[in-house]
Amino acid sequence: MIRAEHISKKYKSMVLKDITFTAQKGECIGILGANGSGKTTLLTVMAGVRRADGGRLYYNDEQALGRSRVFRKYTGYVPQTDPLIEELSAGDNLRLWSSVSLKELLGREEIRALGIEDYINKRVSRLSGGMKRRLSIAAALSSSPPVLILDEPGTGLDLKARAETADYIRSYIASGGTVVMTTHIETEIELCTRLYIIKDGVLVPVEGKPDVSELSRLI
């Protein structure tokens, strides 16, 4: 479903040097790494939000870099900070993202599972962090994307909201979706079918099932 080949990205210095990996349907790829190692940069490139300087990125054999249509067709993206308009209600935020009616969107099973209907008329500025995060996921899912790109989905959430988000990710990959996510959280690391550490601009595969203290030595 995903094939990334030699992706590079430079700001002042080279943040991504040679990012190469593949992911199949039903896989959850976890990208770990120190603060500032380039995780968000990689996800923004994969979501089509930032341009890469070089390389190729295929979704289902369609080359995506430089082609916004391919990103729209395949990816849903939940950024590190929620992309919501605080002054608008939850429902109005969803209307901005979705090409289908709110009623139709809320009727979908995967959106119902997020439990946002309870606060659909509330203003975003009055929602808790977990409610906002679930709303951001709903926005990312509004186009029914086969690939979900999640930047630290559980950060800032309480244990219950984290568990709910993790349950959601589990069911999304069980139904054949592909996830690429960054995380620093142990329970989210456990969800991943494959882990990489981003270091010095390249992805290093993590072999076996190391515990968190071992992982923290590797990053």
Q: Could you tell me which residues come within 8 angstroms of residue 179 by beta carbon, excluding any fewer than 6 positions away?
A: 27, 28, 29, 147, 148, 149, 150, 169, 172, 173
Does 44 help bind Mg ion (rule: CB under 5 A)?
no
Q: What b/e readout covers 13-30, taking b as 16+ CB neighbours within 10 angstroms? A: eebbeebebebeeebbbb
DSSP state of 151: E
Does 89 help bind Mg ion (rule: CB under 5 A)?
no
- Of 9, 16, 23, 40, the residue at the interface with Mg ion (CB under 5 A) is 40
Residue 177, contacted partner among Mg ion, ligand ATP, none, CB below 5-8 A by kind: none
Least spacing, CB of residue 40 vs Mg ion, in Å: 3
Does 38 help bind ligand ATP (rule: CB under 6 A)?
yes
Least spacing, CB of residue 168 vs ligand ATP, in Å: 21
Least spacing, CB of residue 32 vs ligand ATP, in Å: 9
Cβ contact 4:19 at 8 Å: yes
54-93: which residues touch ligand ATP (CB under 6 A)? 80
* Alpha-helix residue ranges (DSSP H) falling in 18-158: 39-46, 68-74, 90-97, 102-107, 109-112, 129-141
Q: Which of 26, 25, 22, 1 is nearest to 171 (CA)?
A: 26
* Binding region for ligand ATP (CB under 6 A) out of 38-46, 115-123, 137-145, 202-210: 38-46
Specify the residue, 102 or 219, whose C-beta has the smaller distance to ligand ATP: 219
- Rounded to an integer, what distance in angstroms lies between the CA atom of residue 82 and that of residue 141? 14
Residue 162, contacted partner among ligand ATP, Mg ion, none, CB below 5-8 A by kind: none
- Of 1, 19, 39, 166, the residue at the interface with ligand ATP (CB under 6 A) is 39
- Rounded to an integer, what distance in angstroms lies between the CA atom of residue 14 and that of residue 206? 23
Give contact residues for Mg ion (rule: CB under 5 A).
Answer: 39-40, 80
Give contact residues for ligand ATP (rule: CB under 6 A).
Answer: 11, 15, 33, 35-41, 80
